[in-house]
Amino acid sequence: MTLPRSTTQRDEDLIRDFHYIWHPCTQMKDHEAEPPLLIDRAEGLHLYDREGNRYLDCIASWWVNLFGHNHSHINQAITDQLQKMAHVMFAGITHQPAVDLAHKLIEWSSPNLSKVFFSDNGSTSVEVALKMSLQFWAQTGKPEKKRFVYLKGAYHGETLGALSVSGIDLFRNRFEPVLMDNLEVEGPDCLRCPYGLTRDTCKAECFEPMEKALVEEHQNIAAVIVEPLVQGAAGMKMYPPVYLEKLQATCETLRVHTIYDEVAVGFGRTGGLFVSEQLRHKPTFLCLSKGITSGYLPLAATLTEDRIYQAFYGDHDTFKLFIHSHSYSANPLACAAANATFELFAADGFWDALKERIATLKECGEMLKELPWCGEFRQTGLIGACELVRDRDTLAKFPMTQRVGYQIYKKALQRGLFLRPLGDVVYFIPPLVIDPETIRSMVTTARDCIHDVLSEV
Amino acid sequence: MTLPRSTTQRDEDLIRDFHYIWHPCTQMKDHEAEPPLLIDRAEGLHLYDREGNRYLDCIASWWVNLFGHNHSHINQAITDQLQKMAHVMFAGITHQPAVDLAHKLIEWSSPNLSKVFFSDNGSTSVEVALKMSLQFWAQTGKPEKKRFVYLKGAYHGETLGALSVSGIDLFRNRFEPVLMDNLEVEGPDCLRCPYGLTRDTCKAECFEPMEKALVEEHQNIAAVIVEPLVQGAAGMKMYPPVYLEKLQATCETLRVHTIYDEVAVGFGRTGGLFVSEQLRHKPTFLCLSKGITSGYLPLAATLTEDRIYQAFYGDHDTFKLFIHSHSYSANPLACAAANATFELFAADGFWDALKERIATLKECGEMLKELPWCGEFRQTGLIGACELVRDRDTLAKFPMTQRVGYQIYKKALQRGLFLRPLGDVVYFIPPLVIDPETIRSMVTTARDCIHDVLSEV
Kindly report, residue by residue over B31-45, the tens digit of the pLDDT. Answer: 999 999 999 999 999
Residue A22 to residue B116, Cβ atoms within 8 A: yes
Query: Is A317 a member of any domain?
Result: yes
Least confident window among A197-201, A448-452, B247-251: A197-201
Residue of A nearest to B96 (CA): A13
The CA distance from A197 to the nearest CA of chain B, in Å, is 34
C-alpha to C-alpha distance for B266 and A268, rounded to whole angstroms: 40
Task: Please give the interface size between A and B, counted as residue pairs whose CB atoms are below 8 Å apart.
Answer: 431
The chain-wide mean pLDDT, for chain A, equals 96
C-alpha to C-alpha distance for B75 and A457, rounded to whole angstroms: 52
C-alpha to C-alpha distance for B138 and B163, rounded to whole angstroms: 22
- Both ends of chain A: CA-CA distance in Å? 29
Is A39 in a helix, a strand, or coil? strand
Contacts of A159 in chain B (CB under 8 A): 123-124, 127, 159-162
Q: Which residue in B39, B78, B120 is closest to A88 by CB distance?
A: B39
C-alpha to C-alpha distance for A329 and B121, rounded to whole angstroms: 10
- Is the domain of B384 the same as that of B328? no
pLDDT given at position B217: 98
Q: At B310, is the pLDDT very low, low, confident or very high (cuts 50, 70, 90)?
A: very high
Query: Is B29 a member of any domain?
Result: no
Q: Is the pLDDT confidence value at B3 over 80?
A: no
Residue of A nearest to B337 (CA): A86
Write the CATH number for B228.
3.40.640.10
Q: Which residues contact B179 (CB under 8 A, 6 or more apart)?
A: B160, B163, B164, B172
Q: Is the pLDDT confidence value at A2 over 50?
A: no
Q: Is the pLDDT confidence value at B188 over 50?
A: yes
Is A64 in a helix, a strand, or coil? coil
C-alpha to C-alpha distance for A15 and A36, rounded to whole angstroms: 11
Residue A17 to residue B94, Cβ atoms within 8 A: yes
- Is the domain of B402 the same as that of B270? no
Q: Is the pLDDT confidence value at A272 over 80?
A: yes
- At residue A431, φ and ψ (nearest 5 deg) are -50, 145
Residue B51: Cβ-neighbour burial (10 angstroms; 0-12, 13-18, 19+): exposed
Taking residues B420-448, what's their average pLDDT?
A: 98
Query: Is B112 a member of any domain?
Result: yes
Question: Does residue A62 sit at the B interface (CB-CB below 8 Å)?
Answer: yes
- Is the domain of A406 the same as that of A275? no
The CA distance from B431 to the nearest CA of chain A, in Å, is 12
The pLDDT tens digits of the residues spanning B357-379 come to 999 999 999 999 999 999 999 99
Domain boundary among A286, A310, A345: A345
Residue B325 to residue A158, Cβ atoms within 8 A: yes
Query: Is A366 a member of any domain?
Result: yes
pLDDT given at position A93: 98
pLDDT given at position A5: 54
Q: Mutate which of B17, B50, B87, B182 to disrupt the A interface (most A C-beta within 10 Å)?
A: B87
Q: Mutate which of B19, B62, B225, B418 to disrupt the A interface (most A C-beta within 10 Å)?
A: B62
Residue B13 to residue A94, Cβ atoms within 8 A: yes
Question: Does residue A237 sit at the B interface (CB-CB below 8 Å)?
Answer: no
The boundaries of the domain holding residue B113 are 74-345
Taking residues B233-245, what's their average pLDDT?
A: 97
C-alpha to C-alpha distance for A265 and A228, rounded to whole angstroms: 8
pLDDT given at position A80: 98
Query: Is A395 a member of any domain?
Result: yes
Taking residues A344-369, what's their average pLDDT?
A: 97
DSSP notation for B236-296: SEE--HHHHHHHHHHHHHHT-EEEEE-TTTTTTTTSSS-HHHHTT---SEEEE-GGGGTTS
Domain boundary among A297, A315, A345: A345
Query: Is A118 a member of any domain?
Result: yes
Q: At B2, is the pLDDT very low, low, confident or very high (cuts 50, 70, 90)?
A: very low
- Is the domain of B153 the same as that of B244? yes
Is A181 in a helix, a strand, or coil? coil
Is beta strand A221-226 parallel, antiparallel or unpaired with respect to A257-261? parallel
The pLDDT tens digits of the residues spanning B271-309 come to 999 999 999 999 999 999 999 999 999 999 999 999 999
The pLDDT tens digits of the residues spanning A62-116 come to 999 999 999 999 999 999 999 999 999 999 999 999 999 999 999 999 999 999 9
DSSP notation for B328-381: TTT-HHHHHHHHHHHHHHTSTTHHHHHHHHHHHHHHHHHHHHTSTTEEEEEEET
CB atoms within 10 A of CB A302: 28
ipTM of the complex: 0.97
Taking residues B244-258, what's their average pLDDT?
A: 98
Q: Number of structural domains, chain B?
A: 2
Residue A85 to residue B102, Cβ atoms within 8 A: no
* Higher pLDDT, residue A7 or A142: A142
- Is the domain of A45 the same as that of A84? no
Residue B121 to residue A328, Cβ atoms within 8 A: yes
Contacts of B26 in chain A (CB under 8 A): 91-92, 321
Q: Which residue in B87, B162, B289 is closest to A296 by CB distance?
A: B87
The pLDDT tens digits of the residues spanning A28-50 come to 999 999 999 999 999 999 999 99
- Is the domain of B150 the same as that of B86? yes
Q: At B1, is the pLDDT very low, low, confident or very high (cuts 50, 70, 90)?
A: very low
**Selected residues 146-165 of chain B with any CB under 8 Å from a CB in chain A:** 146, 158-162, 164
Q: Is B20 annotated as a binding residue?
A: no
Q: At A422, is the pLDDT very low, low, confident or very high (cuts 50, 70, 90)?
A: very high
Q: Mutate which of A123, A139, A308, A318 to disrupt the B interface (most B C-beta within 10 Å)?
A: A123
Residue of A nearest to B291 (CA): A327
- Is the domain of A87 the same as that of A120? yes
Residue B296 to residue A174, Cβ atoms within 8 A: no
Helix/strand/coil (H/E/C) assignment for every residue in B115-184: EEEEECCHHHHHHHHHHHHHHHHHHCCCCCCCEEEEECCCCCCCCHHHHCCCCCHHHHCCCHHHCCCCEE
Query: Is B170 a member of any domain?
Result: yes
Please give the share of chain A, as a percent, with pLDDT higher than 90: 96
CB atoms within 10 A of CB A159: 29
Residue A85 to residue B41, Cβ atoms within 8 A: yes
Q: Which residues contact B436 (CB under 8 A, 6 or more apart)?
A: B356, B357, B360
- Is the domain of A66 the same as that of A78? no
**Selected residues 307-346 of chain A with any CB under 8 Å from a CB in chain B:** 309, 312-317, 319-331, 333-334
Query: Is B121 a member of any domain?
Result: yes
Q: At B16, is the pLDDT very low, low, confident or very high (cuts 50, 70, 90)?
A: very high
pLDDT given at position B247: 98
Q: Which residue in B16, B115, B124 is closest to A99 by CB distance?
A: B16
Question: Does residue B54 sit at the A interface (CB-CB below 8 Å)?
Answer: no
- Is the domain of B393 the same as that of B297? no
Taking residues B40-54, what's their average pLDDT?
A: 97
- Is the domain of A363 the same as that of A410? yes
Domain boundary among B317, B345, B373: B345
3-state DSSP helix/strand/coil % of chain B, to nearest 5: 40, 20, 40
- Is the domain of B66 the same as that of B211? no
The CA distance from A186 to the nearest CA of chain B, in Å, is 23
Write the CATH number for B446.
3.90.1150.10
Residue B38, Ramachandran bin (φ over 0: left; ψ between -120 and 50: alpha; else beta): beta
C-alpha to C-alpha distance for B201 and A377, rounded to whole angstroms: 72
Q: Are B342 and B351 in contact (CB under 8 A)?
A: no
Taking residues A317-344, what's their average pLDDT?
A: 97
- Is the domain of B237 the same as that of B276? yes
- At residue A285, φ and ψ (nearest 5 deg) are -130, 140
Q: Is the pLDDT confidence value at B312 over 60?
A: yes
The pLDDT tens digits of the residues spanning B385-414 come to 999 999 999 999 999 989 999 999 999 999
Q: Is B110 annotated as a binding residue?
A: no
